[in-house]
Amino acid sequence: MMDPGKHFTLIFTFLLAAFCAQSTAWAAQAIPENNLRYPVLLTLDDGSTASGFYFNYEAKDLFFVTAKHVLFRKDETGVLKAKSARLLSYPLPVTLTEPVSITLDLELLNRNGLISVDPEKDVAVIRLTNGEKIMQTVDLVDGVVKDKGFQGSLGSAGMETVKKFDDILPSNEVFIFGYPTSLGISAKKQLDVTKPLLRKGIIAGKNERNKTLILDCPVYYGNSGGPCVEVEEIDPGSRKFNLIGVVSEFVPFEKKWINIRQGLVNTEIENSGYSIVEPMDAVLDLVRNQEK
């Protein structure tokens, strides 16, 4: 018969091991570190900001992806909002904690046909490299300059991460990444605007007519152009992280107050908490056209 003391020791050891295993599970990050390096802060020379991400097309060329309205004026076809832009992001490996930046001559890049936009979708891509040695100085296209002190490699998404519109399932969990620089009270320094923020939601639906995704996830000024990642459950405890699109805009909720006597109408626009994402299909079309 087992000694009661030894029996207690075995039970305690088993429980401790189980607790430690559970603690390790609790400590696991909800999303991989390399995904957390996706978001890029875009700052135009007029001071306005937005988000974007780097996309590595079949390990051949690197592109910067953002929303079309971030770069071009809505009321003037093909007219850039700014002459230049600065891209700031956090490199790989994740042990590198200092941000790196790239300067873009938008006018030169546009003149050379290296900025492509979809005529109907709110998507734009900028080609950054030529050749297979991504981000080596000799492979950068004219108009793209790495800042001094650049270390590591850019955190980019690849073709293996992409999921197209037809394959995306409503109700799946999503994360959006970006730089919502309009949030917070600047005097209180509540947020560090040079570091990205995550937002979590679900795919609320799909607009089949417009071929867009609707998220139950609020976005704000500065989020435009950022990546959206879907979390897909493969097996119990196994998940895949799919790049599904580009943040485009928030869905407004409109209130109208009517003064019948005076004939006055007051309209208020609020953020409904829903947002629109352009799927990666449009990005792939633009990238492939650049590769021809």
pLDDT means over runs of 10, the chain (292 residues): 50 42 51 91 96 90 96 87 96 90 97 95 94 60 89 90 95 95 83 91 96 95 96 86 96 80 78 93 94 71
What local confidence, expressed as pLDDT, does residue 172 receive? 95
- Whether residue 112 lies inside any domain: the answer is yes
Q: Please give the pLDDT value at position 16.
A: 42
What pLDDT does 15 receive?
42
What token pair was written down for 273? Answer: 């908490």
Asked if residue 128 belongs to a domain, the reply is: yes
Report the alpha-carbon distance of residue 40 to residue 90 in Å, rounded.
Answer: 8
3 lies in some domain: no
pLDDT of residue 116: 96
> Residue 40's pLDDT is what?
97
Question: What local confidence, expressed as pLDDT, does residue 139 receive?
Answer: 81
Q: Please check whether residue 11 lies inside any domain of the structure.
A: no
The answer as to whether 256 is a domain residue is yes
Per the structure, the complete domain to which residue 51 belongs is given by 33-291
- How far from chain centre, in Å, is Cα 242? 12
Q: Is residue 27 part of a domain?
A: no
Decide if 149 contacts 88 (C-beta within 8 A).
Answer: no
CATH number at residue 117: 2.40.10.120
What total of structural domains would you count in the chain? 1
Nearest residue to 145 via CA among 84, 97, 93, 54: 84
pLDDT score, position 128: 94
28 located within any domain: no
pLDDT of residue 237: 77
DSSP assignment of 25-90 equals HHHS-SS-HHHHT-EEEEEETTS-EEEEEEEEETTTEEEEEE-HHHHB-SSSTT-BS-SEEEEEE-
pLDDT tens figures, 165-209: 999 999 999 999 999 988 888 778 888 889 999 999 999 999 999
Query: Please, are residues 100 and 147 in contact by the beta-carbon 8 Å criterion?
Result: yes
User: Is 229 inside a domain boundary?
Assistant: yes
Return the ∠ at Cα 199 (arms to 193 and 205), rounded to 5°: 140
Q: Is 19 left (phi over 0), alpha (psi -120 to 50) or beta?
A: alpha
Report pLDDT for 138. 52
Amino acid sitting at position 285: D
Question: What pLDDT shows up at residue 24?
Answer: 38
